[in-house]
Structure 1
């Protein structure tokens, strides 16, 4: 899961045989016939859902986690987009799906790597000192000698540094803009500062002790040299600027290197192509670790259910399409590329999108995306149909006596581009770097005051640090949703 602005041991897969189902003869239906037909579809969906739930398990999916761990171990400790580790992970998923009978394809696209050789920020006056700084990923470089200029502080509004109004309280021409992180993207903040005349941007964090880590999706997004500092340093510079001029020196030297990476897309051979049930998980890790929870867990869970579905049918009522995205950790690049290359007609054919990112966190909470915004937290509701997706998942968890609560559509994972395109979405999540509350510890178990995943984006995100119980629960959620939606979309309204 991306930050907001998220083989050895491989076993051979026994080939699976897809069962073709003859298409029924269509006849005109009376209202009673239609009602009876709907009942038959619903029973068919429930039967497939029960079969998939029974056969799909954490035990079965664990072999895929072992494969991902082995791939990372053999490739520098990670499976990051554009690396041999991700390429091997993609090949592993592709091979199993092809053997199972799916129509499988790679979707290649370009990503950019950033190699920073210099990142330095100094206060020149009135109180000279060095500050800990992180160069923005894919930031423009400064001249070799850096840029020296006074700071101008962007207004801290409800959308800090996001709108032109935030740059009217000071003269920004020829200065370095100081901006608080939050709400809009890093790219939007520095672009607004550049439009106001700034020659550089320093974005300070909105929480914690670490520097903000600005990132752009591609080099063209960077308008001015941009770097990140901590909340404490940002607030100290803001306070100093209220007393008089503050002059900084910022030096960023960075190389931008294009690479090719790929999504893996698999769909059933049959099913109504005008009604596509789409599901996805990102397959890439961060460079710092193997990414077994983030997001080997979602990738393995999706693969487990896809392989079990192939045992029963390649000809469901509705076409089922599975995707393993790349470049999520770089800014949802794979899912964004996929959605943007769809024609308007193709978008309309996608009935819904289900996302599974981090479903085995070691200090887990069972979180369901809040499609109807009933929690009134953060972003608003998803597109029409998202509320019904949430209900299908929560009703299932209730029947299984599994506690759960909502989580906001905050744009941190691959549902984001689908929501922007107006496609209803949903899914589950067991938490990232957020801190578990005492109430959540009472409800879900685990430790209060500790991150849902203490190994988030770190080397420790490995096979030893996952929760198999929550992994199993969320695989059941995937299985149930696939079984129902493969044959019956009537609950979407």
Structure 2
């Protein structure tokens, strides 16, 4: 999962105080096939979704996770995009799918990768701290910006009032994360006269931030870790001069997604599932996102044994997600440029981090029953969510809403009007006492303490979480392979005389930009 750029997944658990939600619609399969096919249509093929859920086991998923861990171990400890570890991960997915009977496709994309030339904050006293240039922030001049520091009256620096009475002109503003968007802090500081802005985190990790759009400020803006930031605050208070140096250049790179789909099923009504295959350079990426990739792979293997389906099921293992959702966005952009291709996708389900050690059982809140989404939610998304929550309700498994924020690979789908939902066991949010009451674990620490670190290895993936999530993914897959009428009104296997053939990629397509520090580093 891409690193947090805005505050998401707040601790509100209102809908779950009741345990299960009687207000949510039942899963699609509770409605039966959804209607008889019309003239010229073949027979309806119904999968026993509950039986199929039992066929996707923790043991099966774990075998894939063990291989992904071995791949990381053999490739400098990671499976990051543009590395041999990613290539080996893709080959493993392809071989496994091909043995199961699928034809696999590599879907290439090109993008501009930001290669970092400088990322530091130096003190006049000699100390130097690591920073990260915020996405959409301009670079500093070569050698950086050297100036006195300034501190807002309220630490967070969100408004003009924060700088009232402070000498800001010609200084580098040093502010804390919190209360408002990073862009608000940067705009307020520049308006007060700052020539650079540093935002320090409210946790120990280096802060990877974004301004959200180009052109909001004309001064360099960077993030840094909490302890380093507090040390800089002390230095500024003592009158120490700062030098902020954040620069990058862009290089064109190419990566790829892995895509496969069932041979059976009407291909004008495609159910699509995805998980990103790449991790970060810092570690093996076994929860983020070996877990989602492995669950998806085992579901695909088991589904291949079903010779008759109403709807085609398409699986995608996305590339360069950790560089900014690049692979999935490029894929959707390409489909959007081909007449009718996006219309063929009935719904998209995303699985990014489903084995967190201090887990929650989270479902993307597509019906906005807990969190208002920051974008327009496509019609049919709430019904897609209901397939997942319906499974948990019928099995007595507590669950919580997680914000439908576009923080993972479903973003491009919903921005292009494709219904979506998905599952999530938590990343860097702190577990609450209310969540402990529902799921066990430890309050006061993160859902995944190893998020984006070397500790994200197989020993820190929760078998229990996998054991809950894998059957849920399987149930949703089988349900929607049978019937999507609750989502888009389409039921039955369709007119078998109208076959489009499976989607195939073009000769490559470009999109967006990633971000590289020295050798490789995520941008988001």
Q: Same fold (TM over 0.5)?
A: yes
Contact 1:179 1:201 in 2 (8 A): no
The SS at the match of 2:451 is: coil
**Contact in 2 for aligned 1:121/1:133 (Cα 8 Å):** yes
Partner of 2:514: none
Q: Does 1:430 align with 2:430?
A: no
2:365 matches 1:360: no
Match of 1:328 in 2: 321
Distance 1:251 1:66, change over 3 A: same
CA contact (8 A) 2:163 2:192 kept: no
Is residue 2:404 matched to residue 1:409?
A: yes
1:135 aligns with 132
Structure 2 match to 1:260 = 254
Q: Is the 8 A contact 1:135 1:213 kept in 2?
A: yes
Q: Number of paired residues?
A: 457
**Unpaired segments ≥5 residues, structure 1:** 7-32
What is the RMSD computed on CA atoms of the aligned residues? 4.3
Query: How far 1:288 moved relative to its partner?
Result: 0.9
Alignment check: 8 A CA contact 1:135 1:227 kept: yes
Shifted more, 276-285 versus 369-378: the winner is 369-378
Q: How has the CA–CA distance of structure 1 residues 134 and 251 changed in structure 2, closer, same or farther, with 3 Å as cutoff?
A: same
Q: Offset at 1:189?
A: 7.2
Matched, 1:71 2:71: yes
The 5-angstrom pairing of residues 415-454 of structure 1 reads 415-454=410-449
Q: Does 1:337 align with 2:337?
A: no
Structure 1 length normalisation: TM-score?
A: 0.78
The Cα of 1:473 is off from its aligned counterpart by: 1.6
Name the counterpart of 1:280.
Answer: 274
Whether the aligned pair in 1 keeps the contact of 2:69 and 2:284 (CA below 8 Å) is yes
1:269 to 257, 263, 266: 263
Q: Is the 8 A contact 1:373 1:381 kept in 2?
A: no
- The structure with the largest helix share of the pair is 1
Output the CA distance in 1 between the equivalents of 2:413 and 2:396: 30
Instruction: Please report the TM-score for the alignment, with normalisation by the length of structure 2.
Output: 0.74
Question: For the Cα contact (< 8 Å) 1:111–1:260, is it kept in 2?
Answer: yes
Deviation at 1:327, TM superposition (A): 1.1
Partners of 2:177 and 2:199 within 8 A in 1: yes
The 1:178/1:283 distance shift into structure 2, 3 A limit, reads same
Counterpart CA distance in 2 for 1:176 and 1:298 is 42
The alpha carbon displacement at 1:392 in A equals 1.5
Instruction: Say whether 1:480 aligns with 2:475.
Output: yes
> Which residue in 2 is equivalent to 1:291?
285
Higher RCO structure (Cα 8 Å, ≥6 apart): 2
Cα 1:294/1:221, change in 2 over 3 Å: farther
**Residue number in structure 1 paired with 2:110:** 110
Larger deviation, residues 74-83 vs 133-142: 133-142
Aligned partner of 2:4 in structure 1 is 4
**Is the partner of 2:274 in helix, strand or coil?**
strand
- The SS at the match of 1:412 is coil
CA change 1:460–1:143 in 2 (3 A) is same
Whether 1:229 and 2:228 are equivalent positions in the alignment is no
Contact 2:268 2:344 (8 Å CA) reproduced: yes
Q: 1:99 and 2:99 equivalent? A: yes
